[in-house]
Amino acid sequence: MNVAGSIPTFGDGMLKFAEFHVMVEKSIFISFKNGTHSPPQIIRSEKAVKIMVQITENKLIAKSERVKAVDFHSSESLFATALHNGSLELWDSMSQTLIKRIQASEKPLRSVKFIPNTEWVATGGDDLSIHVYNYTTGTKVTSFAAHKDFIRSLTPHATKPYLLSCGDDKLVQMWDWSKDWTLVKSFEGHEHYVMQVVFNPLKADEFATASLDQTARVWNLDSATPKFVLKGHSKGVNTVEFVKDWIVTGSDDTTIRVWSLADGACIQTLSNLHENNITTIAYHHNLDVFFTGGEDGKVLVMNGDTLAVEHQLEFGLERVWNAALLKNGEKAVFGCDAGSVSLVFRRGAGDALL
């Protein structure tokens, strides 16, 4: 992809506008026939696309503060960041101002999630516990031991009172917050650290996990046995995301793989996009766009239909660890080694992104 113009530069807390013309040289099209997948066809295009970029940037605290996880509140103008120094921070997503800083742990935090239909935000990390706070008052709701090794990821159910957690003890745990955070079920099978767990927004009881055992797995809450074990990556899998009828995974082998949710088959392998470990993938179901981030410091914006890279961002904040997208809006936030970045993004002409 050739970009005419340069990526905009930013000052702290400043809003910048820029226009770019992107020449899309290659798109990847995946067709389906009678429920089966056909080999992808490469479609070449010489269409110039005009893109409007609107971006704000904030660096959290200082260069030394590593942001390991981020999350948006689904309805309030809030986003949360979980820091490697154990701090949980709450930000106003409209004014880009810090509202609260909570020292949730003396050890690194690695995940943060707002809990639906409550005023709670949950976080977990290297102290092996899940900590829950009231995000309005900043008071602690509860803390409880959840895993026997580092906690890597949390994800709440959209309608049921369940929170899934996963960690370096190779387990996925299901907690019921309506029953004083009782452990309801454990999901076993991974042979190495479980790096991420995420629910399918289109099938509420379905979830997926990514592991350093080089696999991703698709599960249902009512079964301790995975529906699919997705094998193909040559190194550990750090991130997994539901994208329409697909599962998309990112790995330390620097590839992105696209899998069919119908049969678990690998549809496409995308190579030469990132130059180091891929750490995060986040998909916006309403706008059909997803973002990938990696330890090369790059964020790629990809078209959910064609899987083409539409735009590349580099913030100068070193490694990118996590991304979150506002479900019913056009905002993104990224956690990086040297802080966090919040963006406003818009669709441009010709279904271009950003």
Alpha-carbon gap, residue 100 to 33, rounded angstroms: 52
pLDDT, tens only, 339-353: 998 888 876 544 444
Residue with tokens 């099938």: 203
pLDDT, tens only, 142-198: 999 999 999 999 999 999 999 999 999 999 999 999 999 999 999 999 999 999 999
- The answer to whether the pTM exceeds 0.85 is no
Average pLDDT over residues 135-143: 98
Report in angstroms the alpha-carbon separations of 122 from 20, 70, 89, 130, 137. 39, 11, 12, 7, 14
pLDDT, tens only, 69-124: 999 999 999 999 999 999 999 999 888 788 999 999 999 999 999 999 999 999 99
**Domain architecture of the chain: domains with CATH:** 60-343 (2.130.10.10)
Alpha-carbon gap, residue 195 to 71, rounded angstroms: 16
Total residues found in the chain within this entry: 354
Contact 217, 189 (CB under 8 A): yes
Alpha-carbon gap, residue 280 to 277, rounded angstroms: 9
Give the residue from 133, 46, 72 showing the smallest Cα distance to 332.
72
What was the pLDDT predicted at 347? Answer: 65
Distance between alpha carbon 252 and the CA centroid of its chain, in Å?
A: 16
Confidence band for 15, pLDDT divided at 50, 70 and 90: very low
What was the pLDDT predicted at 64? Answer: 40
Give the residue from 290, 295, 234, 289 showing the smallest Cα distance to 266.
234
Query: Average pLDDT over the chain, rounded to whole?
Result: 83
